[in-house]
Structure 1
Amino acid sequence: MSFAAETKKELTQLSSDPAESRHELMAIVALASTVTTIDGRQQLAIETENVATARRIYTLLKTFFQVQPEVVVRKKMRLKKNHVYAVRLTGSQAETVLEDLGYKGAWADGPLAPNWVVSAEDALQRAFLRGSFLASGSVNSPGSPSYHLEIYSPNQELGRILVDLMNSYDLHARMTPRKKGFIVYLKEGEKIVDFLNLIGAVRALLKFEDTRIIKGMRNQVNRLVNCETANMNKTISAAVRQMEHIRVIQNRGGLESLPEHLREVAEARIRHPEANLQELSKRLGGRVSKSGLNHRFKRIEDIANGLRMNPPKH
């Protein structure tokens, strides 16, 4: 089961008071339903690919409206061929539900966005966000290369309300067009954790945080290892160049031709070819600093380059 499916399953098992459950159902109807007229009778169909969400919708409709929803299962023919669960109400049952939820006559150009939800009390706003995620939300596994949570909206107005509602909790939500609708999304791991907390997905939150911490530690270790490797490569490359310069001097006139202070560091490098400057300074009893060593090796390089440019005449 994917992380998103686990999160939705957890949300469907939460208990809440009637007002919160009603707002949850309002969001689900707004985001995941269609209303059609068949033989002069309205039909309300709420579709989802998540079986736990379908069960939750069925239970909420029966609990609040004493209706008898019909559940239809069909197989999606594209991509992974997931099952699609449609919870349907027809005729007076559909009209009763839509009117009670404030959506009567709202489907001429798609669901009517419930503007009032932005000014509702905190618990009801959280319930609406929970229903929104159940209806059309998705979240990447916390172990994925990037963090991403999104909620699909069939129209821009409803998407904008979701953005405003989420940002009232400082979630940094954004919206972008997607196929025939819009997606409201979060990209920051910390904000996704905050959202999961808002909608009551505590187990998902803990799993997300655990994985995020481990992932962060692993990335930190990798950065440290990469940094250490880079420093080691830099040290080795510098030592190899220094040895090459020293060999040129050895072959052209011997180290005896060098001033005493340069000959000292050249002989130290020959004895300790793998040492970095700090280690080499310690080998010399701390009499020469790293900066002093670097300066002396630069002088040795200049002398070696001079010998290369002026080879001995035979």
Structure 2
Amino acid sequence: MSFSNELKSEAAKIKTDTFNLILAELSAYVRTCGELKLKDGSWILEFVTENASIARRIFTFLKSYTQNLEIYRKKSNQLNKRSNYIIIMKDRNSIDDLLYDTGFVKSGNYDEKNYKIDKGLLQIDEEIRAFLRASFLGAGSVTDPEKGYHLELISQNEELAMDLKDMINKWNLNAKIATRKSSFIVYLKEAEQIS
């Protein structure tokens, strides 16, 4: 298991038991590893991760909205590629509620997605930390400290990347953004800032 995956497994075990913290994390998962899809004429919300601990965490948190969830493991056919864990939410009313509560869409209009972070969800430091933790779990990586720390949060959306950078820099850190192909990478390089 890679250093990054070990760290994610450890972070995925952090207790989060209040609904406001669960909602802050779900807001990050929706934006980082969630995808709305039209399947057989119905909308589904799908979350994909390579880490079983993260899949369990997302699955458990989604139960706050519905018990009607599917989870399965999809093995990769490529050599040295990890399997993916896929969590699917199918109930339209539950999807609407989750996406509205996280500020990702307004009243069931899936054409207008809002990747900007809903500041109303993140009023206190605990909620901000929960959002950042879930952003790391959903789309982050960190290199082995023996090779020099390097933390990355990957986003397909520039607004989300800017918000993440600003949120991290609120703690006097020096996060920056780089572009790689069609992705925006929020990164920290200094070891003392990451640990």
* Matched residue, 2:2: 2
* Matched residue, 2:96: 95
Cα distance in 2, alignment partners of residues 185 and 147 from structure 1:
11
1:116 Cα offset (Å): 1.4
SS at 1:73 equivalent: strand
Cα distance in 1, alignment partners of residues 121 and 68 from structure 2:
31
Give the TM-score taking structure 1 as reference length: 0.57
The code of the aligned residue for 2:7 comes to T
The code of the aligned residue for 1:18 comes to F
1:79 Cα offset (Å): 5.9
Indicate yes or no: 2:151 matched with 1:143: no
**Contact 1:118 1:164 survives alignment (8 Å):** no
* Matched residue, 1:307: none
1:51 Cα offset (Å): 1.1
Q: Radius of gyration: which is bigger?
A: 1
1:12 Cα offset (Å): 1.6
* Matched residue, 1:271: none
With a CA cutoff of 8 Å and minimum separation of 6, indicate the structure with the bigger relative contact order. 2
**Contact 1:118 1:165 survives alignment (8 Å):** no
The code of the aligned residue for 2:137 comes to L
Displaced runs of 4 or more, over 6 A: none
**Contact 1:47 1:85 survives alignment (8 Å):** yes
Quick one: structure 1 residues 32 and 88, their matched pair in 2 at CA, closer, same or farther if it must change by over 3 Å? same
* Matched residue, 1:59: 60
| Greater alpha carbon shift after TM alignment, 116-125 vs 10-19 | 116-125
* Matched residue, 2:171: 169
* Matched residue, 2:22: 21
1:106 Cα offset (Å): 6.8
The code of the aligned residue for 2:190 comes to E
1:107 Cα offset (Å): 5.2
SS at 1:88 equivalent: strand
* Matched residue, 1:152: 154
In terms of fraction of residues, the more strand-rich structure is: 2
* Matched residue, 1:83: 83
Quick one: structure 1 residues 192 and 51, their matched pair in 2 at CA, closer, same or farther if it must change by over 3 Å? same
Q: What's the % identity of the aligned pairs?
A: 36
Cα distance in 1, alignment partners of residues 120 and 180 from structure 2:
24
**Contact 2:161 2:186 survives alignment (8 Å):** yes
| Pairs within 5 Å for 1:1-314 | 1-16=1-16, 17-62=18-63, 64-78=64-78, 80-92=80-92, 93-104=94-105, 108=111, 112-116=115-119, 120-144=123-147, 146-193=148-195
1:85 Cα offset (Å): 1.0
**Contact 2:20 2:121 survives alignment (8 Å):** no
Number of residues paired by the alignment? 191
SS at 1:143 equivalent: helix
**Contact 1:42 1:95 survives alignment (8 Å):** no
The code of the aligned residue for 1:55 comes to R
In terms of fraction of residues, the more helix-rich structure is: 1
The code of the aligned residue for 1:186 comes to L
SS at 2:35 equivalent: strand
SS at 1:175 equivalent: strand
The code of the aligned residue for 2:13 comes to Q
SS at 1:94 equivalent: helix
Cα distance in 1, alignment partners of residues 182 and 113 from structure 2:
12
1:22 Cα offset (Å): 1.5
* Matched residue, 1:230: none
